[in-house]
């Protein structure tokens, strides 16, 4: 696979790289782009957004992340019309920070409860409004609950 950024299939490199990343994540093979200084980011990247290093490698994403911040959206943009209310969160997975939607195990109308510092796993889900794929966080229940 060429990595020179040339898009000859009519798909913008950004969309293609993001789709590839979502594919990997859906396969339980999520990864981050990490520079020698340990800064994590997500594709597409040519250089580290933190220090500008071009020496980037793919590292496996941590299985569990920690919620840094979250907010509950009651009045969504049209693309999320059927998903509201929902909770978006930013979670740290090792050196890499991800943004996603929080979903619980059931399809209740209310957004699942989530708090800063909670552990979450990351998965790929579909937006209810139009089926577009997106990053989904699932709260990790403690006490060995299966
Ligand atoms: Zn860096």
Specify the pLDDT at position 3: 47
- Give the Å distance between the CA of 23 and the centre of ligand 1: 25
- Mean pLDDT over residues 23-37, rounded? 95
Domains in the chain, please, with CATH?
1-61 (no CATH), 63-146 (2.40.50)
- Give the Å distance between the CA of 70 and the centre of ligand 1: 25
Prediction pTM value: 0.80
- Give the Å distance between the CA of 45 and the centre of ligand 1: 11
- Give the Å distance between the CA of 50 and the centre of ligand 1: 5
pLDDT in tens, 62-94: 989 999 999 999 899 999 999 888 899 999 998
CB 67 within 8 Å of CB 120: yes
Phi, psi of 71 (to 5 degrees): -150, 150
pLDDT in tens, 90-143: 999 988 999 999 987 555 546 677 899 999 999 999 999 999 999 999 998 765
- Give the Å distance between the CA of 34 and the centre of ligand 1: 7
């Amino acid at each position: 696979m060429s990595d020179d950024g040339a898009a000859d299939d009519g798909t913008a490199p950004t969309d293609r790289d993001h789709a590839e990343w979502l594919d990997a994540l859906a396969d339980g093979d999520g990864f981050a782009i990490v520079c020698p200084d340990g800064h994590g980011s997500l594709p597409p990247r040519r250089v580290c957004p933190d220090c500008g290093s071009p020496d980037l490698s793919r590292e496996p994403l941590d299985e569990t992340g920690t919620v840094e911040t979250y907010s509950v959206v009651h009045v969504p943009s049209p693309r999320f019309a059927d998903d509201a209310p929902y909770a978006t969160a930013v979670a740290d997975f090792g050196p890499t920070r991800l943004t996603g939607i929080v979903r619980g195990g059931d399809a209740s109308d209310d957004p699942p409860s989530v708090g800063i510092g909670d552990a979450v796993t990351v998965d790929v889900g579909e937006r209810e409004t139009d089926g577009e794929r997106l990053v989904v966080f699932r709260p990790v229940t403690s006490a060995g609950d299966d």
